[in-house]
Structure 1
Amino acid sequence: MSKPRRILSVYLPRFGMEHWEIRARRRGETLDSEKPCALGLDTPRGPVVHAVNPAAEAQGIHAGARVVDMRALCPDLRMEHADLHAEKHALERLMLWSRRWAPWSAIDGKGGLVLDVTGCAHLFGGEDGFLRKVEADLARAGMTCRLAIAPTHGAAWALARYGTGAAICHDVMDGQLAALSVRALRIAGETVTLLNRLGLKTIGDLLATPRVPLTRRFARNALEENPLMRLDQMTGKLAEPLTAPKDPPRFVVQSRLAEPVQDPTEWIPQLAEELCTHLHDEGKGLRRVHLTVYRTDGEVSSVTCATSQATRDPKHIARLFDGKLESIDPGFGFDLITLIGSANEQIGTRQTRLDRKPDHSEATARTIDRLIARFGPPAVLRPKHTPRHMPERQEHWQTALASDAYPTPINLQRPCRLLEHPEEIRVLYAVPEGPPAQFSWRKLVHRINRYEGPERIAPEWWNDRASSRIRDYYRIEEQYGLRLWIYRNGLLNDGRGFDPLWFMHGLFL
């Protein structure tokens, strides 16, 4: 016989403010809990309050109010900007962190979590002990919470937000639920107002009312506006499926040592081999690897290395730590070493080239990784290709670790080396409607033996000035065998300035 379902609802009423306070303390700020502070958001009707601390709440500051009104109410109110993106990711991390209590968890609206704790409470001494454990863990993390355990998601949600203290509900018809406001049904504010006008202010009132008239009134309403459907979900008459996101795969290997040691170098190759075996089994490759040593005095020291592309080569991973282990402080020695792979990406089995020619892509990536490990990420740059009309705007430099930093695609019609700034050439003899027969560049006279072109490139009208001119590019070969890329800037009598000028822009190597 299966155990009755038990759902835990965790409500964090001050999550936004408490998350900001945690980040501020990590930055070294000193916060005074006695001074009112609030987070604000920009909206079409002006800045509004997003979250407040207890001191601001005591002075009447509340979420959703306009900042100008609240400043008039509390002139010494400190306002900070709310980072909703960071807050969202923090709640996602907290949701995964909460799986230490139960294996199933999900985000439940703003500042809320829901966990299926069926069969888990006995591990903590029953449901009372379970709630005390959750509350103590969140308090150590700097979070204020309200908790409730019930047979259904709707009942647990209602008790956590509208109940009094930590609540345990064993029966969905419990008197605790009947005394709650109809707001606890997770319905829209307009529906709550309508029910109140009808004299239905509590869930008990709704349960005591005949269903037929209410069914006629709310039959066409959506779930968020239908109190009867929400009531059936709360009482378990209507199923409410819950989906928990999968825990991101973690690849961790460790080595426990019989005696404390000072240098982890000897154990890194074996740990890298084990880590790559797990990665291969899951079809994954890592972009970042963390080596952590746990000292006998309780301190922890770690080193992190990153890669320019996903890898699961144990020899390459081990070499990334060459020259970086000096930063580890061994203290009196450490007896536990862990290797953690993060920023994992899906990679399949790679096939070598069919023409048996060497594939240099992996070797290039490994060289880049070793340079980054030695000189640091800002010192190693790679070009990023951008689809633009003008050749000099098609690529720019960024760090090699950037996920979108890839070599510029090869185009045989374009030179592999462009001059940083096109250099003007002095035409000595021109061919009508073609390139110059001779020109002077860098104090040398070049005679053109053959050429290809023109390749006409128009200005970027959305980016360039109206006076910008058309370019005609030619691939030429001069008498010394040099293959060059030159262009004529403008056309004769195009009405955009003087006679066209010629420029050197690139070299074919």
Structure 2
Amino acid sequence: MALKTRRGAAVPADAPFALMVEGPHGPVVHAANPAAEAAGVHPGLRMVDARAVCSDLRAEEADPRGDRAALLDLALWSRRWCPWTTPERTGIAMDVTGSTHLWDGEPALLREIEARLGRMGLSVHLAIAPTRGAAWALARFGSGREVCGASDLAARVALLPVRALRIREETALLLRRLGLRTVGDLAVVPRLPLARRFARAEPKDNPLLRLDQMMGRVPEPLPCPDEPPRFLARAALSEPVLDPTPLLPSLAGELCSMLAAKGFGARRLALTVFRSDGAVSGVEAATARATRDPRHLVRLFEGRLETLDPGFGFDLVTLGATLAEPLSARQPSLDGQRDEGEDLARLVDRLGVRFGPRALSRPAFRESHVPERREAWVPALDPSPPAPPVPQAPRPLRLFDPPEEVRVLYAVPEGPPAQFIWRRVTHRVTRFAGPERIAPEWWRDRPGTRLRDYYRVEDHEGRRFWLFREGLLGDGRGAEPRWYVQGAFG
């Protein structure tokens, strides 16, 4: 479905009006209303030429950046009717597949859209068609509000002008000079001569490609500013409300039922409120682990909805899981004990809501054999799963970062340590295990980084340490090897 908008009623519908922007050789037409288009004014035409073909044309400076921002807001607001919407240059495209039955069919959906946007001061041209290109064409060159089925597609678009193919005016003019004035004319001519003529044309300006997209022979997926939630609970209100808080329990319950039916749990949540005047705002929350407990989800939004500006009220509230992970059903413990991991996750969630998601950190494994790179601190609510630990030889619980250099007596060139001085204390080695060699990570380390030989040693007092020698004699990457204490056992 495609939608075309025009805000306000400052200019009568029968008065030619255009918006202009600065071009390389002076002002050019950026957009024109139907009266101006009927008089021969079209986007891209120089203003001097536009006024030559339409003497009573009225023009004002355009605000493309403001128009794009407003159109994006309107596209997000339009998700009240379907989950997939995206702004176009002169309208909004929606994928209403699977959504029309919620509005009692396609004609009723068009009436609902026209009525609601009409209350916002927007006049619209609407069309529903099997393809994006056909909907775009029928919304701009059709009757203004129509539904075209797959069986009627070829016959309906055959009567439309070639400009309905979403090509530039120069390309449309070339086709008309070739005698191809309508989409039907283009569809019946041999393709090979035209394919040769437009072989170097941009894909968006190739009439044959546009024709194939319109007829559904070439797919044209609908891009979106951001992916809509996979699981979404909605509360459509007959009358606007100023506070969405009372709706949270029912929305959370409905969302958790959806998650449970598919075996998922929510990791990121988005509460979105749609104002009756077209504004959209929302609040997001995250969880430390997947959950589908509705009471816990409600607590994540406590005290956070007061920042939402209600304006004239909210007439639609949605709660969606923007990120979900598989979560199998768990049976409660027979002895009545609670899952400590779940309690800790809920505590992290509440602290994250209070102090911010970046205020809490947790250790996470990283894929590296270098000990000081094996662990890193990441945000506690980071949804990315940590790398699983790689099986290795025993490691001390206490690691020094950075490793501390020591003076070592050892058998040259590659013997184990016999004695070392650390923090001004001499330690005589009575037992050792090793070496365990760890080579540099060539994809991460700088050229010339030396390898390491690790030893687990025990001194004369029974204390155990983890030492390594950095480099070898004659390796060409430095002078004498250096020794370090990486950690201590116990």
TM-score bracket, normalised by the shorter chain, equals: 0.5 to 0.7
The correspondence for 2:179, drawn from 162, 174, 199, is: 199
The CA deviation at 1:95 is 6.0
The alignment status of 1:345 with 2:327, answered yes or no, reads no
1:501 maps to which residue?
Answer: 482
Secondary structure at the counterpart of residue 184 of structure 1: helix
CA distance in structure 1 between the aligned counterparts of 2:343 and 2:429, rounded to whole angstroms = 39
Question: Offset at 1:396?
Answer: 2.8
The match for 1:435 among 392, 396, 416 is 416
SS in 1 for 2:180: coil
User: Does residue 1:249 correspond to 2:242, yes or no?
Assistant: no
Structure 1 pair 88–485 and aligned structure 2 pair: CA distance change class (3 A): farther
Within the alignment, does 1:10 sit opposite 2:27 as a pair?
Answer: no
Q: Do 1:138 and 1:145's aligned partners in 2 also have CA atoms closer than 8 Å?
A: no
**Matching of residue 97 in structure 1 with residue 80 in structure 2:** yes
Distance 1:325 1:231 in 2: 52
**1:107–1:114 CA contact under 8 A, matched in 2:** no
Give the direction of change, closer, same or farther, for the CA distance of 1:466–1:283 in structure 2 (3 Å limit): closer
Contact kept? 2:267, 2:287, Cα under 8 Å: yes
Matched, 1:382 2:362: yes
Is the CA contact (8 Å cut-off) linking 2:231 and 2:259 kept in structure 1? no
Change over 3 Å in CA distance of 1:484–1:320 after alignment to 2: farther
**Structure 1: how far apart are the matches of 2:228 and 2:429?**
65
Aligned residues of 1:310 and 1:344 also touching (Cα < 8 A): no
| Pairing partner for 1:214 from 176, 190, 194 | 190
1:308 alignment partner in structure 2 = 288
Residue 427 of structure 2 corresponds to which residue in structure 1? Answer: 446
Q: Please report the TM-score for the alignment, with normalisation by the length of structure 2.
A: 0.60
Do 1:284 and 1:344's aligned partners in 2 also have CA atoms closer than 8 Å? no
Name the counterpart of 2:239: none
Is structure 2 residue 146 aligned with structure 1 residue 136?
no
Aligned mates of 1:302, 1:153 — CA distance in 2: 29
User: Is 1:418 equivalent to 2:423 in the alignment?
Assistant: no
**TM-score normalized by structure 1?**
0.58
- 2:161 corresponds to 1:181: yes
The equivalent of 1:369 in structure 2 is 349
Count of equivalent residues = 417
Deviations 1:102-148 (A, max 9, x none): xx977698753355769646648xx7x557426437767xxx86434
Q: 1:166 aligns with which of 144, 149, 152?
A: 144
Identical positions, percent:
37
- Equivalent position amino acid for 1:489 in 2: E
- Contact kept? 1:383, 1:398, Cα under 8 Å: yes
Query: Aligned pair 1:283/2:263, yes or no?
Result: yes
CA contact (8 A) 2:271 2:320 kept: no
Aligned-residue offset at 1:438? 1.7
Distance 1:174 1:349, change over 3 A: closer
* Pairwise CA distance, 1:89: 8.9
Aligned-residue offset at 1:503: 0.3
Q: Residues 106 and 113 of structure 1 are in contact (CA less than 8 Å); yes or no, is this contact kept in structure 2?
A: yes
| Whole-angstrom distance in 2 between the partners of 1:105 and 1:326 | 27
Residue ranges of structure 1 left out of the alignment (5+ in a row): 1-7, 15-33, 39-50, 62-75, 255-259, 294-299, 331-335
1:391 CA displacement: 2.7
Structure 2 equivalent of residue 28 of structure 1: none
Q: Distance in 1 between matches of 2:400 and 2:378?
A: 19
SS of 1:440's partner is strand
Cα deviation code 1:420-440 (max 9, x no counterpart): 21101122x324533312212
Secondary structure of 2:441's counterpart equals coil
- Report the equivalent of 1:23: none
CA distance in 1, matches of 2:424, 2:75: 64
- Distance change (3 Å), C-alpha of 1:440 and 1:364: farther
Q: CA, structure 1 residues 174+503, in 2 after alignment: closer, same or farther (shift >3 Å)? A: closer
Alpha-carbon distance in 1 for matches of 2:283, 2:209: 56
Equivalents in 2 of 1:473, 1:347: separation in Å?
Answer: 40
Q: Aligned-residue CA RMSD in angstroms? A: 6.2
For the 8 Å contact 2:455–2:467, the answer to whether it is kept is: yes
Whether the 8 Å contact between 2:439 and 2:452 is mirrored in structure 1 is yes
Cα distance in 2 between the residues matched to 1:36 and 1:188: 17
Give 3-state SS (helix, strand or coil) of 2:190's partner: helix
- Mind listing any 5+ residue stretches in structure 2 that lack a counterpart? 8-18, 24-28, 33-42, 48-60, 237-241, 274-279, 309-314
The 1:278/1:284 distance shift into structure 2, 3 A limit, reads same
Please tell me whether the aligned partners of residues 251 and 279 of structure 1 are also in contact (alpha carbons under 8 angstroms). no
Change beyond 3 A, Cα 1:91–1:408: farther
**Partner Cα distance (1:275, 1:409) in 2:** 34
SS at match of 1:456: strand
The aligned runs of 1:322-337 (5 Å cut-off) are: 325=303
- Aligned residue for 1:199, secondary structure, equals coil
Partner of 2:37: none
Q: How far apart are the structure 1 equivalents of 2:3 and 2:263?
A: 35
Kept in 2, the 8 Å contact 1:107–1:113? The answer is yes
Is the contact between residue 252 and residue 294 of structure 2 (CA under 8 Å) also seen in structure 1?
yes
> Are 2:441 and 1:460 equivalent residues in the alignment?
yes
Q: 1:485 aligns with which of 462, 466, 478?
A: 466
Q: Distance between the aligned counterparts of 2:66 and 2:411, measured in 1?
A: 64
Find the aligned partners of 1:182 and 1:405 in 2 and give their Cα distance: 52
Measure, in 1, the Cα distance between the counterparts of 2:269 and 2:460. 54
Contact 1:425–1:504 under 8 Å retained in 2 = yes
Distance 1:233 1:80, change over 3 A: closer
1:371-421 Cα offsets, whole Å, 9 max, x none, are 424443222112343323533234332211111253772655233432121
* Aligned CA distance change for structure 1 residues 274 and 477 (closer, same or farther; 3 Å): farther
Change in CA separation of 1:284 and 1:170 when aligned onto 2, cut-off 3 Å? closer
